[in-house]
Chains A and B, each alone.
Chain A
Amino acid sequence: MQLDQALEIVDIPRDDEGPVFEEPWQAQAFAITVKLNEAGQFTWSEWADIFGSEIAAATQRGDGVGNEAYYLCWLAALEKIVGQKSLLTVEQLLARKEEWRHAAAHTEHGQPIKLS
Chain B
Amino acid sequence: MAGNHKHSDPLPETVLRVKSLESLLIEKGLVEAAALDALIDRYENKVGPKNGAKVVARAWVDEEFKERLLKDGSAAIAEFGFSGAQGEELIAVENTDKIHNVVVCTLCSCYPWPVLGLPPVWYKSAPYRSRVVREPRKVLEEFGTKLPAGTEVRVWDSTAETRYLVVPKRPEGTEGLSEDELTQLVSRDSMIGVSEALGPTATKGG
Contact = CB atoms under 8 A, between A and B. Distances in A.
3 interchain residue pairs of minimum CB distance? A96-B20, A31-B39, A112-B126
Interface of B: 4-7, 10-12, 14-25, 28, 30-32, 35-36, 39-40, 42-43, 46-47, 85, 104, 106-109, 111, 113, 118-119, 126, 129-130, 133, 157, 159
A5 interface: no
Interface string A84-106: 00011000110011001100111
Contacts, number: 134
B5 A108 contact: yes
A22 to B, nearest CB: 5
B113 A23 contact: yes
B16 A101 contact: yes
A62 interface: no
A27 B85 contact: no
B43 A19 contact: yes
20 contacts: A18-B42, A23-B85, A24-B40, A24-B113, A25-B12, A27-B40, A27-B118, A28-B18, A32-B25, A75-B18, A82-B21, A87-B25, A96-B20, A97-B19, A97-B20, A104-B7, A104-B16, A104-B107, A112-B126, A113-B106
Contacts of A28: 18, 22, 36, 40
Contacts of A41: 30
Contact of B21 (A34, A79, A107): A79
